[in-house]
Amino acid sequence: MIDQHTEIYALNESSVTVVFGNTISPELAEKVLLFDRAVHAAPFPGFITTVPAYATLTVCYDPGQVLNAGLKGKSSYEKVSGYLSTLTVGTLEKENTRKVITIPVCYDAEFAPDMDIVAKHCNLSKAEIIKIHSATSCTVYMIGFVPGFAYMGGMDQQLSTPRKEQPRSMVPAGSVGIAGGQTGIYSIDIPGGWQIIGRTPLQLFDAERSTPSLLKAGDEVSFSPISVQEFHDLL
């Protein structure tokens, strides 16, 4: 059940947001994912979907169906928030539903325009950056910014580098970047300010796929260095 430190507020007329805290941490992310699984395991009438984030879970629903459901409360917000407040996650805690995905990344200069910036900021060689970045498993905390863009925590903090002061007008899809203590992968061609240190040939987002986004919150991601030739072979 939700504890006294957890807040639920109405985001709009068809969704509520459950707030578990205000920091970025593996512990809070785990709380979000456990509660997300609980909602999907026992959906209420009118439930549509959820949107996990760093420390929050937004629950979307059909207000009309909720109002006609036999839930306690007068408004759709009261009914949904009341239902969520009594939801139990204890029986789901031992389940392991995490997906482990290996992302091939080419760190060659052709695909890593900011490698020198990161190397200088971190006082590391390019080879050291590649070794460190590909040696650590990261966790997808949330999908956002644009469809399929994965924000990942767990990166070795030796590589922590500030965003670019002046964002690029266009960053190619597949670009692997660093922003502060996080790493992420651009899912489509889009402007952006992350420091780009490589690129993957994998398609992170495809609206035609049954599951458009390759990654989702809770996935474990590791990076595997590949050559330029391997990059083109995998396209």
Categorize the per-residue pLDDT at 89 as very low, low, confident or very high, splitting at 50, 70 and 90.
confident
Burial 216-235 (b: 16+ CB within 10 A, else e): bbbbbbebeebeeeebeeee
Q: Provide the residue range defining the domain that includes 80.
A: 7-92
As given in the structure block, the two tokens for residue 146 are 């644009």
pTM of the full predicted structure?
Answer: 0.86
Task: Please tell me whether residues 112 and 178 are part of one structural domain.
Answer: yes
Task: Please tell me whether residues 114 and 221 are part of one structural domain.
Answer: yes
pLDDT in tens, 180-213: 999 999 999 999 999 999 999 999 999 999 999 9
For the residues 43-48, what does the mean pLDDT come to?
96
pLDDT in tens, 133-189: 999 899 999 999 899 999 999 999 999 999 999 999 999 999 999 999 999 999 999
Task: Assign residue 112 the CATH number of its domain.
Answer: 2.40.100.10
Task: Please tell me whether residues 69 and 146 are part of one structural domain.
Answer: no
Task: Assign residue 86 the CATH number of its domain.
Answer: 3.30.1360.40
Task: Please tell me whether residues 184 and 224 are part of one structural domain.
Answer: yes
Burial 110-145 (b: 16+ CB within 10 A, else e): ebbebbebbbeebebebeebbebbbebebbbbbbbe
Whether residue 92 is predicted with pLDDT greater than 80 in this model: the reply is no
Look over the chain and give the mean of its residue pLDDT values, rounded to a whole number: 93
pLDDT of residue 43: 95
What are the backbone dihedrals phi and psi of residue 229, each rounded to the nearest 5 degrees, phi first? Answer: -65, -45
CA–chain centroid gap for 153, Å, is 9
For the residues 47-55, what does the mean pLDDT come to?
94
- How many angstroms separate the CA atoms of 83 and 78, rounded? 8
